[in-house]
Amino acid sequence: MKGITAGITAADIVFDREHVWHPYSSMVSPPPVWPVSGAVGCRITLADGRELVDGMASWWSAIHGYGHPRLNAAAHEQIDRFSHVMFGGLTHESAIGLCRRLVSLTPGGLDRVFLCDSGSVAVEVAIKMALQYHHARGRSEKHRLVTIRNGYHGDTFAAMSVCDPVTGMHGIFKGVLSEQLFVPAPQVTFDGEFDEADIAPLAALIEQHCHELAALILEPVVQGAGGMRFYSPAYLARARDLCDRYDILLIADEIATGFGRTGRLFACEHAKVSPDILCLGKAMTGGYLSLAATLTTAGIAETICSGAAGCFMHGPTFMGNPLACRIACESIDLLLESDWKRRVAAIETRTGQGLAPCADLETVKDVRVLGGIGVVELREAPDGGVLQEMLVAEGVWVRPFGRLVYIMPAYTISDAEVDCLTAAIFNVLSS
């Protein structure tokens, strides 16, 4: 069998269309795909030579852009030593270094780290931690979760059960997934004056069902793939109080928001709260390799391990992969050594200015910006494939979904590149 070559042929594209199943795509009528020949900085080079300004940072993970020399060097250094060893019974410098960084940087009290493979798995781990914690306390009746509508937490089974059954895209699995409890999504916006009525549905449900609730899971301040909604930090603070009052764990899913995306290192910081369990992923390796982590407190970890099982019942094959951990260490150091707060604030300002004209379009319902996130919400869902082809023709990589056209670029993006992205979005939506 021939090895992989540098070029993509027409036959390769045909093979891709007939045999390669892309995320959320149909094998009956596959959507268009654009073959890539390279990626450097905040630009993607297509096989036909066209260059696109990347507004997605590879689903929000490549926060330093592509091909960063320090991340490349870290990868080479680790792979020349060893690329992987099992984490069962063994440990290594890269995993220890990463966990040391995570314990130091995350909200207070989160000092036990479980490394895993992906964001969805991090959520699975968090849910299992919550259930096993209560079981170990002799409270096995506390086995359900509560969450807010419009949330998205991943595509594995436990994660799907806490996604919004409509906007979470998993309605066809109703009756198979665990039946969790949902309350209306917060309505007070990030900068809006908080109204206690916003938290009332959650408070009422928790009071009624606290005897069976193991945890509340939510995305702090920013709901990602379930709608790109920004809500008041005060809601998160009130939720923390409710969890404390009713003996419920708070799980914060910061897979999308962690490592600076909202202008704070972690979105929980906007509300000055610390969750009982924290899920991280995406940007942790700067988009180089899949890696995630679930952090919890010493008390929860010790309770779990004092239960009947005597340990936490989970162990991925590639847990603590040295190559991914080494790159993650370098990515975190690179972030902290940079002027990332100023850069994210500049992206927020520039994106807001560039997307503002979209608000005057009849097809647009809302324009909102927070940190390194810019969103245009349409009144009706367009043909996503057609819209994306138009955006590529404008020289940008922006992947719309549903009624949302949004950007979450690398923090290293230039002002000119932000302008290119926002101008392209306006041009396409106004055409």
pLDDT at 6 exceeding the cut of 60: no
Structure confidence by residue, pLDDT tens digits, 142-161: 999 999 999 999 999 999 99
246 in active site: no
Q: Look at residue 127 in the predicted model and tell me its pLDDT.
A: 98
3 has pLDDT over 50? no
CATH 3.40.640.10 describes domain 72-337: yes
Cα of first residue to Cα of last residue in the chain, in angstroms, is 47
Helix (H, G, I), strand (E, B) or coil at 232: coil
Question: Annotated catalytic residue: which of 2, 24, 48, 80?
Answer: 24
Q: Report the CATH number of the 10-67+340-430 domain.
A: 3.90.1150.10
1 has a pLDDT exceeding 70: no
CA angle 193, 199, 200 (to 5 degrees): 125
Active-site position among 164, 282, 288, 406: 282
Q: pLDDT band at 5, cuts 50/70/90?
A: very low
Q: What is the tens place of the pLDDT at every residue in 72-103?
A: 999 999 999 999 999 999 999 999 999 999 99
Mean pLDDT of the chain: 96
3-state DSSP call for residue 221? coil
What count of residues does the chain have?
A: 431
Judge whether residue 363 has pLDDT over 80. Answer: yes
- How far apart (Å, rounded) are the C-alpha atoms in residues 383 and 318? 38
The answer to whether residue 251 scores a pLDDT higher than 80 is yes
282 belongs to the catalytic site: yes
Task: Report CA-CA distances (Å) from 111 to 35, 148, 275, 311.
Answer: 42, 27, 12, 17
Q: What is the model's pLDDT at position 168?
A: 64
Each residue's pLDDT tens digit, 303-340: 999 999 999 999 999 999 999 999 999 999 999 999 99
Buried b (16+ CB within 10 A) or exposed e, 399-412: ebebbbbbbbbbbb
Please state the rounded mean pLDDT for residues 160-168: 85
Is 365 within 8 Å of 227 (Cβ atoms)? no
**Cα angle 352-281-339, degrees, rounded to a multiple of 5:** 50
Which residue among the candidates 152, 231, 235, 288 is catalytic per the annotation? 152
∠ CA 22-25-31, rounded to 5°: 95
Instruction: Please confirm, yes or no, whether 133 is among the known catalytic residues.
Output: no
DSSP state at residue 198 = G
Which structure tokens are listed for 413?
């993006």
Phi then psi for residue 53, to 5 deg, are -75, 125
- Per the annotation, the verdict on 24 as an active-site residue is yes
pLDDT (mean) for 26-34: 92
CA dist list (Å): 16 to 30, 51, 88: 10, 21, 37
Q: Which residues contact 215 (CB under 8 A, 6 or more apart)?
A: 126, 127, 130, 145, 146, 243, 248, 249, 250, 251, 276, 277
User: Domain residues of the chain, as ranges?
Assistant: 10-67+340-430, 72-337
Pairwise CA distance, residues 375 & 394, whole Å = 18
Q: Catalytic residue among 253, 276, 288, 406, which?
A: 253
The amino acid present at 146, given as its one-letter code, is V
Q: Considering the chain, what percentage of its residues have pLDDT values greater than 90?
A: 93
